[in-house]
Amino acid sequence: MSFFEKHKDSLEKAIQATKERTFYAHHPEHPGAYSAESAEKGKIDFENQLGNAFTQLLQTGNTATAGDEVSPYTSNALAISYPTAPTSTLIANAKAAQEQWRKTTPNERAGILIESLERVKSRYFEIAYATMHTTGQSFVMSFQASGPHAADRAMETIAMAYAELTRYPAQKTWVKPMGKFAITLDKNFTPVPKGIGLVIGCSTFPTWNTVPGLYADLMTGNSVIVKPHPLSVLPIAVFVAEIQKVLTEAGYDANTVQLAVDSSNHLITKELAESPAVKLIDYTGGNAFGDYIEALPNKTTFTEKAGVNSVIIDSVRDLREVMRNLAFSVSLYSGQMCTAPQNFFIPETGIKTTDNETIDYDTAVELLKNEVSALVLNPKMGAGTLGAIQNPNTLKRAQDAVNLGASVVLAPLDVKDAVFPDSRIITPTILAVDATQTDIYQQELFGPIVVVVKTRDTQHSVALARQMAEQHGAITCAAYTTNPDTKAYITDQMNQAFAPVSFNLTGFIWVNQHAAFSDFHVTGGNPAGNASFTDPAYVNKRFVWVGNRAIL
């Protein structure tokens, strides 16, 4: 049985889900759904990898090694060395592999790629530890984000690409009636891959933000070079190794996907990006480099850059429930998610409740402070929600936030990680400003920093949130209102800045979460990025439809 036959049913389910935007999970998200053996083996495999060479890659032409990873939980180097090759070798390998890969059918590609996801599934615990000790995510988030959630996003691009690649008949007999006779042409319609894809990873979500572009490129017939962030290599290295193994088993060149590890001392991203052979670039990271990527001539680019996400609070049922939900959103992985809220717009006139009461501005801010404090100081929840700070610069920014010139509602609290006493941990700082203090809040303050902005009224809140999205980008917006007209107004205004709005989230659902198969991620319409996975353009910009005709 071919890999395609083996995974045909899964593919069809995934295609259906992307169409209907219904709930669908290709792999279960809970660690408890996986075997205890798998959990134990993952831990051992990760520990055995520490201090050793990563030898699972099947790519060729390696000449040296690199490895800079350091655990945010222990500050110890992981001391894993990855093989490296000159840029020219990576490009030559990718070109050679492309010659073969571009000729494969969508069925062959889908079979191989879904099989690789099944192989990765057995390594989710190992990937979780790898993610934890490179990104600073908690164990559960590391498991979910880098494992099943990433695989779901990959599966989603496979499904979307398959649907687009098979959208037109491969062969068509075209008959044009001309009165007394007819013209008959034999036509075929071929999706031609654009060329070599470069996928540039980030340090905080090494697989979740990388696999969509990686699988989309492969699925559309392009060979790929994955350039991970030098501080977050191991999680995506496991994915690449598993894809290479399946490629080899199926008789294809392992170099169809290559891992291009570099070191912080000698970054090779620009060399790769500027190679004329590289036609597609996927990028997740900061704005300056993202703008450079988008401006490269003759490349098709897919970027996810920084954004400033807003919370608009107009009216509520229960403000405590609202603030509890938002406290979790800003604390989760210490605000290092691209979807984390930063600016809270609250009217100086206060917040109306469904009991016809008005909660004044100061009380509202106090409620937020209390809920954040209660969460992070909770010994069972605090450290596990915050995780650790990936980058020392982010820690510095968080430590210095009290000096930004805003009034400090909540300074960092004394919270320790019981398991990792040397963890790079800091609790969220809450600042409060007037709407006029634009120099403070009209910028991304990446990390655990929240700014409450006092506005005249909700219309003012919305205007500022929209302006922020238009000028600085936004990936999400959380809004709370019990008034249907206000809900429609906020939707219309924020959607014009291409920011999706999540209304009235309380309980076990948070604005930070974008579900594969249903929620688009990044809008593609504002400065936060020019891509959205997985909308149709995310896959059909990676190949070109070419129609040939012949008189038979």
Choices 245-253, 382-390, 417-425, 497-505 (CB under 8 A): range interacting with a second copy: 497-505
Among 297, 403, 414, 436, binds a second copy (CB under 8 A): 297
525 binds a second copy (CB under 8 A): yes
| Cβ-contact 287, 304 below 8 angstroms | no
Segment 461-490, which members bind a second copy (CB under 8 A)? Answer: 487
Cβ-based neighbours of 244, under 8 Å, separated by 6 or more: 57, 58, 59, 254, 256, 257
Question: Reduced to 3 states, what is the DSSP secondary structure of residue 387?
Answer: coil
Residue 393 CA to residue 408 CA, distance in Å, equals: 21
Helix (H) or strand (E) holding 64: strand 64-66
Among 41, 172, 245, 460, binds a second copy (CB under 8 A): 172
**Residue 107, number of CB atoms within 10 A of its CB:** 18
| Cβ-contact 481, 490 below 8 angstroms | yes
Residue 50 CA to residue 527 CA, distance in Å, equals: 39
Q: How far is the CB of 509 from a second copy (least distance, A)?
A: 5
Among 9, 356, 414, 551, binds a second copy (CB under 8 A): 551
Q: How far is the CB of 262 from a second copy (least distance, A)?
A: 28
The nearer residue to a second copy, 163 or 211, going by C-beta atoms, is: 163
Q: 27-43: string of b/e by CB count within 10 Å (b at 16+)?
A: bebebeebeeebbeebe
Q: How far is the CB of 20 from a second copy (least distance, A)?
A: 7
Q: Binding residues for a second copy, how many (CB under 8 A)?
A: 61
Segment 8-67, which members bind a second copy (CB under 8 A)? Answer: 19-23
Measured at the alpha carbon of residue 326, what is the angle toward residues 207 and 315, in degrees to the nearest 5? 135
Q: How far is the CB of 174 from a second copy (least distance, A)?
A: 5
| Cβ-contact 512, 337 below 8 angstroms | yes
Cβ-based neighbours of 38, under 8 Å, separated by 6 or more: 122, 124, 125
The nearer residue to a second copy, 81 or 100, going by C-beta atoms, is: 100
Bridge pairing between strands 278-284 and 196-200: parallel
| Cβ-contact 226, 257 below 8 angstroms | yes
Choices 1-9, 36-44, 125-133, 500-508 (CB under 8 A): range interacting with a second copy: 500-508
Segment 127-166, which members bind a second copy (CB under 8 A)? Answer: 164
**Residue 239, number of CB atoms within 10 A of its CB:** 28
Please tell me what DSSP assigns to residue 477: E
537 binds a second copy (CB under 8 A): yes
Q: How far is the CB of 169 from a second copy (least distance, A)?
A: 6
- Of 119, 156, 82, 92, nearest to 244 by C-alpha is 119
95 binds a second copy (CB under 8 A): no
**Residue 551, number of CB atoms within 10 A of its CB:** 7
Q: How far is the CB of 242 from a second copy (least distance, A)?
A: 28
Q: How far is the CB of 267 from a second copy (least distance, A)?
A: 25
Q: How far is the CB of 311 from a second copy (least distance, A)?
A: 14
The nearer residue to a second copy, 136 or 147, going by C-beta atoms, is: 147
496 binds a second copy (CB under 8 A): yes
Among 265, 295, 403, 436, binds a second copy (CB under 8 A): 295
Q: What is the DSSP string of 183-219?
A: EEEEEEEEEEE-SEEEEE--SS-TTTTTHHHHHHHHH
393 binds a second copy (CB under 8 A): no
Kindly list the residues in this chain that would bind a second copy in the complex (CB under 8 A): 19-23, 164, 167-169, 172, 174-178, 183, 185, 187, 189-190, 192, 194, 295, 297, 487, 491, 495-496, 498-509, 515, 518-520, 523-525, 532, 535-537, 540-541, 544-551
